Amino acid sequence: MIREHFEFRQTIATILADDSRHIAAAKSGMLNARREVERQIALDPYFSATLEPYLPKIPERTPDRMARAAAAAGVGPMAAVAGAIAWAGVEAMVEEGATFALIDNGGDIALVSDREVKIGIYAGTSSLSGRIAFLLPPQNEILGICTSSATVGPSISFGVADAVTVFAPDVAAADAWATAICNRLTADDTSVLDALPGTGIRGVLAVVGDAVVRWGDLPTVVRAKVDERLITAGRSPV
């Protein structure tokens, strides 16, 4: 298996594949998606500024996916950008013939896999952080596994959860809903999850301190020792 770090402006990703051709396809797919988003922002700066649902007419695929997914979740389009770009990259890998393709775009993952995959849960200072993982069976179709945190990373969050991980075949929707749920969910108030039936979201696991909240259909959760060196992050300056 090939593991390659990829950075372009704000996109910081890890690509996993079996063939260098698929790595190249992933980069091309992500760059094309980024260009679409950048063109949309140049034409309509409000698209990147708003934290509220916004559904203008958008001719290009990736920003349209972002806007639609975010509107359904009640957040701004940029809440879905990392998942949408990872999605485009994996689609390009599949078009190149990949049966195993994974892109981790800063905690927002898109994948297809012909094998079992273990994905660790990093939840900041929670005692569960790095100690549990999802054990995913093979996935013939693209699956989104997107995580939002109020305590880890630079993204805007109005919540308290250490990690909210959302599973959905629509990767942009998984990303947008991870943000929306993280903004509102607490260990004592999980009412935001009541909005999920009918959205296409398959499952949610949230870590809030030492509490775990589950909803829907989730992969098996197993004990693990997560190697934090494998967490996707920007390289330190030399």
pLDDT digits (tens, 9 = 90+) for 3-17: 999 999 889 999 999
- Residue with the bigger pLDDT between 42 and 128: it is 42
- CB–CB of 212/121 below 8 Å? no
Q: In this model, does residue 152 exceed pLDDT 50?
A: yes
Amino acid residing at 105:
N
Give residue-wise pLDDT tens across range 188-221.
999 999 999 999 999 999 999 888 999 999 999 9
| Residue 128 pLDDT | 79
At 238 the pLDDT is 31
Q: Is the pLDDT of residue 236 over 60?
A: no
Mean pLDDT over the full length of the chain: 92
Read off the pLDDT of residues 26-76 as tens digits, 9 standing for 90 and up. Answer: 999 999 999 999 999 999 999 999 999 999 999 999 999 999 999 999 999
Contact in structure between 106 and 82 (CB atoms under 8 Å): yes
What's the pTM value of the predicted model, to 2 decimals? 0.91
CB atoms closer than 10 angstroms to residue 90: 28
Write down all domains in the chain, each with its CATH number in brackets.
Answer: 2-227 (3.10.520.10)
pLDDT at 153 over 80: no
Residue 109 pLDDT greater than 60, yes or no: yes
pLDDT (average), residues 147-157: 76
Q: How far apart are CA 157 and CA 124, in angstroms?
A: 14
Dist. CA 72–CA 179, nearest whole Å: 12
Residue 156's pLDDT is 62
**Is pLDDT at 237 greater than 50 in this prediction?**
no
